[in-house]
Amino acid sequence: MSRTGNRIGWGAWGASMTRALRPTSLRLRLAVLTLVLAAAALLSACGGIGGSSAPPLTSTENHLHDVLTLRGEPGAVLIATHFGLYRSSDRGHAWAQVAGGPGQQMDGLMTYKLAQSPVDTKRVYCLALPRSAMPGVTHATAGLYASVDSGRTWKLAAAVDTFPTNSVFSIGVSSASGGRVFAIVSALGAAGLYASDDAGAHWRALPKTPAADITGVLGDPAHPGHVYLWSNISGVFSSADDGRTWSAAAGISGAVYALSSSGDIVYAGGDAGLFVSHDAGRHFVQTHARETFSAIAASLSTPATAYALNGAEVYVTTDGGKTWRQAAPTSQHPALVAVDPGDAGSAYIGYLSPIGLDATRDSGNAWQTLVRRTPPQRT
C-alpha cells in the first residue's frame, strides 16, 4: 500500500503481491493471478467509494477486508468491511454494526485490519482508513482504534499522523502484555516497525528489521514475548525479546505471504509451497511443494489442525501440515480464512467482492452461507 499525502493508493500493494505470488505450475499461476487482479481492483476502488454514508452490510457496494474470531467469547466474530465494522455473537448468523456507520466511531472510514490481544482478550484493535480520497469528503480520524469490551464499543487510540508518514500498512499484537501493539509503516522500509506499550497511546520505533518488505507481524500466543515477521521477499524472522532483535528462521526463504501459529507449530506459505515449524519458528521444513497457499489459519485449540486457501480451493490438515485434503467446494473465490478459537472443526472463509462469508462446522465437509451480497433490484 502506498500513499501520496493523505490520499490512499494501492499500486504498491498490488505490485508487491504480484512479486510475492509466484506459484510453480500454470494452474497455480492462473489461480493466484486471478486473486491478485481481483484484490488489486477491489483495493483501487476503495479509494473512490463512499463518503460518510454507509449502505447495509450486504450492499452491492460493500466488500470484505478482514475476519476475526474472538478468543474468550464463544461464537463471537468480527468482520471489517468497506462500510463498517460488524459483530456477531452467534457464530455469524446475526450481525450488528458496531463502528463505521453514521454517528459511530470510524464514521466514513473503511475498517481494514483486525487484531486481538492474546493476553487481554477483551482488548481488540482495528486499523481504519479513509474510504474515499475525493476532495471534500468528510470522515472520522483515520488511525488505530481500540476496544476493551471484545469489540462492542470503540475509541481512537492513535491517528495515522502520529507516525512519520501515514502509510500504516498493517497491525499486530504482542503476547508480552495486553497493551503492547505493533504497527507496520510501510513507507519507512526496515525502519517501519513501531510498538506501543499502552494500547496505542504512545509509540516508538523499534530497531531496524532484517528486511524492508515486511508483510506481517504476529505475537506468538503460546510464547510470551515471541514475535514473528514475514516478508514478501525475504522469508520469516523471529524475535524472543518482543522485537528488539531478530533471527532468520532456518529452512525457509524467499517470498512468504501467509503465516499462522498455534502452540509450537508455525505454518508459513510462500513461493516454494508450505513450510511448517514444530519448534516455535526456529526451523522450518517444506511439507507441501505442489500448492501455493495465499492464506493460512491454524486452530488455537488444536495446533495440528489448520485451514489454507489455494485459488478457489480450501485445504485442511489435521496432522500438523504433513498431509492436506481438499475441503468441499466453495461458492466463490475465498481470500480470507479464520478458525473458531475453541472448535477446530469450525472455520470461516471470506470473499472480498462480492462480499460474502461462509462457515463450516464439520472441518470443511460442507459450507453454509452466513453473509451474501444482496442482488441489485430490477426496475
| pLDDT tens profile 283-333 | 999 998 888 899 999 999 999 999 999 989 999 999 999 999 999 999 889
Query: Total structural domains in the chain?
Result: 1
Dihedral sign from CA coordinates of 351, 354, 357, 362: negative
- Domain contains 84: yes
Q: For the packed helices 11-20 and 26-46, what is the interaxial angle rounded to 10 degrees? A: 170
Cis ω before 354 (30° cut-off from 0):
yes
The mean pLDDT value for 266-291 works out to 92
Domain containing 154 equals 2-372
Query: What is the residue whose three cell numbers read 467446494?
Result: 329
Which residue, 228, 199, 225, is CA-closest to 214? Answer: 228
Q: Exposed/middle/buried for 371, CB within 10 Å: 0-12, 13-18, 19+?
A: buried
Arithmetic mean of pLDDT over the chain: 86
Q: Look at residue 216 and give its three-state secondary structure.
A: strand
Q: What percent of the chain stands above pLDDT 90?
A: 75
Dihedral sign from CA coordinates of 79, 83, 89, 93: negative
The pLDDT, as a whole number, for residue 16 is: 36
- Residue 158 belongs to domain with CATH number: 2.130.10.10
The mean pLDDT value for 111-126 works out to 97
The mean pLDDT value for 347-375 works out to 94
Which residue, 273, 372, 369, is CA-closest to 324? Answer: 273
Which residue, 298, 351, 325, is CA-closest to 67? Answer: 351
pLDDT level of residue 211 (50, 70, 90 thresholds): very high
- Domain contains 183: yes
The pLDDT, as a whole number, for residue 11 is: 31
- Domain contains 312: yes
- Domain contains 160: yes
The pLDDT, as a whole number, for residue 137 is: 64
- Domain contains 109: yes
Q: What percent of the chain stands above pLDDT 70?
A: 83
- Domain contains 257: yes
State the cell numbers at 324. 492436506
- Domain contains 378: no
pLDDT level of residue 348 (50, 70, 90 thresholds): very high
pLDDT in tens, 236-255: 999 999 999 999 999 998 89
- Domain contains 379: no
